[in-house]
Structure 1
Amino acid sequence: MQASPIRIPTVTSDTDWDFCFHLSQQSKIPEHQRTDESSPTSGSEESEEDTKAKEKVIDHMSHPREKLAQSQKKIAQLIKGKKNIEANKELIRCVILSRIIFGEEHWKCAQALATLAYGYLTLRGLPAQAKKHAESAKNVLLTWKGTTTSDKEEKQILETLVMLYYTLGVVCLLQNHGREAYFNLQKSERNMKELRESYKGGTCGLQVSEKELTVALGRASLANCRLNLALVYFEKAVDNVIANKGDSTSDLVSLYQEIAQIEQLRRNHEQAIQYLHQAHSICVSLYTEVSPQAAEASALLAKAYAMSGEVQHKDAVGLYFMKSITAYQTTLGPEDYETLTTVEEFCKWLVQNGEKREAYGLLKASLRSQVISYGDCSEKVAETLYNMGKICFAKGELRKAVQLLRKVN
């Protein structure tokens, strides 16, 4: 089943952030009191008063540091429990605490902002907010004048850059800015490559996986009509998934379906059908043939066979459309949107191929379900009555056609 489109709200609706931001302004520690782990002391000798003052500041800062560590630990638990809104609030708290501890211009603050941006994108599906915080993180890193003191810090900054540019890239993709999306995702890819080289074959704890980044690059390439490049990225993503999870994982289903779409655009219909068969086999194996997943896979196969325009594929179109309709009716019910949409698509194909009697029977059978789902005065019901009237008219059944067409008005 198709995922619901992501709502793109205005940035001003970020009430949680606004509240916490004002809270942080009130809680801010003066700059001279902040402790920075990466900054060495300016002198070798300190007076007793300086030492006492520093101890007081360190004691004062220990509480926010503890709170930050607790929040970071809590985020992982909340995400695991699928409590996305609560997890996002903790990410906001991490930004506030990072500002208090390190200051607004420190890379640690940029790291917290980038993580928050990624959270808004992946946990909440709010690209406008994600872009706002990702841009803030980017500005902090561009203006930061400090220096890293260890390999660990350098790796953390690279991880932040991977997440930051990935978030910006995916947001641009959602907002149909294909060129800008690809530009940002390429930056993320370069930083990921540098990070992996720094680990020298070891494992790095990236939030953005190589598969996620590769798929995003494939989609950005497709958005820019670079079909061959898109295919390279998706095939790379498939190889990555098979290497990590095997060749029967559900992760491959959407990848095979997207590759099939690219092959259709390249007019390689037989290749597209092969990929959709692979996706269908995985769905049947994992979810059984009578499942919404298998129903969707069957519908895509039917449409791929129809799109090929080959006479020898005519039976396959009918077979997979009926498999899809049956599975949807059994699992989601005859009144479900997916069921009715698939019936409608099959009927259109039947009419185009001269199977008017069968198309009429299916439309008539679905009419009651449409009335229940959309109402008897809905546009969908009117369209079905109109199509039934056209079929009757084409068959020479004029009286019946007139009766049906009058109901449309």
Structure 2
Amino acid sequence: MESFSDLSLSDPDQEASDGEEKPNMEGLGLQIVDIPTENGSHSSSTRQRKRAGGNESNDNLSDDGSELSTQRSARASPGRRKKKLHKLKLKDGSVIVLNPPEELLKRSESKARKHAGLGEVEPALEEYIRCTALCRLVHGDGHWKLAESHTNLAYAYLTLKGLAPQAQYQAEAAKKIMLSGLHASDSSDCKADLLAVLVKMYYVLGRSNTMFNKYPEAEQCLLKAEKVSEERAKLIGSVGSEQEQMAIYIAIAMGKLYANQNKQALGASYYEKAVRLTEKHHGSDSLELIAIYQDLGKLEQSKGRHSNHDKAVEYYLQAHSITVARYSGQSEEVAETAHKLALAYSEQASAEAETTAERYLDESLGIRQVLYGPHHPKTIATQESLCKLLIRTDRQEEAVSLLKTIISSKCVTFGDFSEEVGETYKLYGSILLSQGQLDKAMKYFRKCYSIQSSLYGPSHKKSKATQQTIDMLLQSPALKAKEGQSKAGQLKKRPRFSSTIKTGGTLP
């Protein structure tokens, strides 16, 4: 795809009346043919009926079975009942559905949207796959509605299950159809639907390429999605909740892309754009703002020594304020934002900030202990964050006491010989080492090494690092002497070797 500079998407009826050229989509590689009706342009008559306040009849609905057409049909006849499935049961027990594919396609599209809205992942994917097969039967291999079906399936794979390879495969199939065929359009609404497919298709390709760390390809696709979305917004009747939401998603995806490339300025600009769009269309207390503010805080913290920790805290505080306002006080959402806010405060390295961080960690820990109990991974993670804060503030005794609780909980949750338990033994050994308790520190470092060498092998970098710490401790005079005495004691306990073999009888 080349540049978008030559893309013109103004009203085809207005251009025809002025004697100018129709919109040229060749800059997108997308070829659209406008089909006029007997009484003039379909889009013109549609707008006249809309201004008159009338409803369109079923005869004027497009044959492509699009969601927009289905919604208009539903408004035109709200009392219409859903058609039942006509089934034929065979002697072997199998069932054949006798309804035409057009009806089955509309039914599957409706069910797919319903399952996706309820978060029912597997049923939604099954219906989207069924939609793709039925769409090929109804419209053929080269129709843009088939590309739309592939795009919806790709979007479902990406957003419902996080499967980037499958999403990219389906989006590439849609791209091949959209950019290699000739697509008919009889109204500006139909043209807007065509562009909506392109927007979602390029969005999926951009997100999936980002997950594969293919940043140049991802940037190209997301910029195309952004440009086509802006052009689509210029069409009459195309601005709606779906258009606005997709613009927000594209801005967030661009922010994540640039954040992954450590382009903090560009990433922040797109995240701030997402904040503005979300506040404009959903309000300043929208739940979608929570993740955006947290991403902005994380992006600010990623600047290293140039980070503005006060600004990062402000972002996390805004996310926590919205969460507290929209959720109950004893919810996981409040616990999660409080935990992240506490970690942001702890980065400020001031006594006041550390006190505030401890307060939010206590709040998060209290909620999670009530919700999940003492042995849940989220409860343990909060305890670990609190323990590290206690170590930073030189409250070693409290940290050691909490570590004993953490080790006990981890043994129950993850098992005695787990990576999590090994890391806690190492942390415990480090605290004891800082207190000068070399014997006890050696004990826990050896426990850590035993677990790591069992899990990864003695040649793994983690095992080697722990072994180096043990070797360093053994160089201290006190431990070296004690280790020598221990080996001498073990030698004394061994039985003396004798070359004489006593037998029960005499040899011949």
Structure 2 partner of 1:303? 343
CA RMSD of superposed structures (Å) = 2.7
2:423 corresponds to 1:386: no
Corresponding letter in the other structure for 1:328: R
In structure 2, the residue matched to 1:166 is: 203
Deviations 1:7-52 (A, max 9, x none): xxxxxxxxxxxxxxxxxxxxxxxxxxxxxx9999xxxxxxxxxxxx
Matches of residues 189-228 of structure 1 in structure 2 within 5 Å? 189-199=226-236, 202-203=239-240, 205-206=242-243, 209-228=246-265
Q: Which residue of 2 aligns with 1:94?
A: 131
Structure 1 residue 246 corresponds to structure 2 residue 286: no
CA, structure 1 residues 373+38, in 2 after alignment: closer, same or farther (shift >3 Å)? same
Deviation at 1:205, TM superposition (A): 4.7
SS at match of 2:185: coil
The offset of 1:351, in angstroms, is 2.4
User: 1:176 matched to which residue of 2?
Assistant: 213
Q: 1:349 to 1:386 in 2, by over 3 A?
A: same
Question: Residue in 2 aligned with 1:320?
Answer: 360
Query: Does the 8 Å CA contact 1:163/1:208 hold for their aligned counterparts?
Result: no
Name the count of aligned residue pairs.
Answer: 352
The one-letter amino acid paired with 1:242 is E
1:202, CA displacement in angstroms? 4.5
1:223-234 correspondence to structure 2 within 5 Å: 223-234=260-271
Contact 2:244 2:281 in 1 (8 A): no
1:399 CA displacement: 5.2
Taking the aligned partners of 2:237 and 2:103, their CA distance within structure 1 comes to: 32
Would you say 1:284 and 2:324 are equivalent positions? yes
Q: Distance in 1 between matches of 2:244 and 2:122?
A: 18
Residue 379 of structure 1 aligns with an amino acid whose one-letter code is E
> Which shifted more, 205-214 or 255-264?
205-214
The answer to whether the Cα contact below 8 Å between 2:426 and 2:444 also exists between their aligned partners in 1 is yes
What residue in structure 2 maps to residue 9 of structure 1? Answer: none
Residues 286 and 200 from structure 1, CA distance in 2 versus in 1: closer, same or farther, beyond 3 angstroms?
closer
Q: 2:91 maps to which residue? A: none
Q: CA deviation at 1:236?
A: 1.8
The alpha-carbon distance between structure 1 residues 107 and 399, as it changes in their structure 2 partners (threshold 3 A), is: closer
Shift of 1:117: 1.4
CA deviation vs aligned residue, 1:190-238 (integer Å, no higher than 9, x gap): 1111111012674375596222122111111212322122112212212
Inter-partner Cα distance in structure 1 for 2:287 and 2:183: 45
**Separation of aligned partners in 1, 2:156 and 2:179:** 22
Letter in 2 for 1:110: A
Matched, 1:261 2:301: no
Aligned mate of 1:134, from 152, 162, 171: 171
1:354 maps to what in 2? 394
Which residue of structure 2 lines up, in the alignment, with residue 74 of structure 1?
111
Residues 150-203 of structure 1, C-alpha deviations (whole Å, 9 max, x = no match) = 323321210110110011111112222233222111111111111110126743
Whether the 8 Å contact between 1:110 and 1:138 is mirrored in structure 2 is: yes
Gaps of 5+ in 2: 1-32, 37-98, 451-508
Residues 1:203 and 1:395: Cα distance change in structure 2 (over 3 Å): closer
| CA shift for structure 1 position 110 | 1.5
Partners of 1:302 and 1:317 within 8 A in 2? yes
Once the two structures are TM-superposed, the CA of residue 403 in structure 1 deviates from its matched residue by: 5.1
**1:392/1:250 Cα in 2 relative to 1: closer, same or farther (>3 Å)?**
same
d(CA) in 2 for partners of 1:354, 1:204? 53
1:153 counterpart = 2:190: yes
Letter in 2 for 1:250: L
Structure 2: how far apart are the matches of 1:223 and 1:400? 42
**1:293 positional shift:** 1.8
Deviations 1:282-326 (A, max 9, x none): 222333443322222222122212222334423223222222222
TM-aligned CA deviation for residue 401 of structure 1: 4.2
Instruction: Determine the structure 1 residue equivalent to 2:490.
Output: none
- How far the C-alpha of 1:131 sits from its partner, in A, is 0.7
Change in CA separation of 1:251 and 1:138 when aligned onto 2, cut-off 3 Å: same
Note closer, same or farther for the CA distance 1:352–1:142 as it changes in structure 2 (3 Å cut): same
User: What's 1:64 paired with?
Assistant: 101
1:261 and 1:269 mapped to 2: Cα distance?
Answer: 10
Whole-angstrom CA distance in 1 between matches of 2:422 and 2:136: 59
Task: Please give the TM-score of this superposition, normalised by the length of structure 1.
Answer: 0.78
1:332 matches 2:372: yes
**Equivalent pair of 2:312/2:344 in contact (CA under 8 Å):** yes
User: Which structure is richer in relative contact order (CA contacts within 8 A, separation 6 or more)?
Assistant: 1
The amino acid of 1:285's aligned partner reads: A
Instruction: Give the partner amino acid of 2:331.
Output: S
- Code of the residue aligned with 1:216 in structure 2: it is A
- Name 1:187's counterpart in structure 2: 224
8 Å contact kept, 1:179–1:220: no
Deviates more, 1:124-133 or 1:314-323: 314-323
Are the structure 2 counterparts of residues 360 and 161 from structure 1 closer, same or farther at C-alpha, using a change threshold of 3 Å?
same
Q: Is the 8 A contact 2:35 2:185 kept in 1?
A: no
Decide whether aligned partners of structure 1 residues 288 and 405 sit closer, same or farther in structure 2, where only a CA change above 3 A counts: same
Q: Is the 8 A contact 1:162 1:208 kept in 2?
A: no
1:374 aligned to 410, 414, 423, which one?
414
- In the TM superposition, what is the alpha-carbon distance from 1:341 to its structure 2 partner? 2.0
TM-superposed CA distance for 1:258, in Å, is 0.8
Distance 1:190 1:287, change over 3 A: same
Quick one: distance in 2 between partners of 1:224 and 1:395? 41
Contact 1:179 1:224 in 2 (8 A): no
Q: More helix per residue: 1 or 2? A: 1
What is the alpha-carbon distance in structure 2 between the residues aligned to residue 253 and residue 306 of structure 1? Answer: 20
Q: Distance in 2 between matches of 1:185 and 1:127?
A: 15
Q: Secondary structure at the match of 1:375?
A: coil
TM-score, scaled to structure 2 = 0.64
Q: CA deviation at 1:281?
A: 1.8
Q: Which sits farther off after the overlay, 203-212 or 332-341? A: 203-212
Q: Take 2:220 and 2:126, find their aligned partners in 1: how far apart are those partners?
A: 30
Instruction: Note the C-alpha offset of 1:128.
Output: 1.2
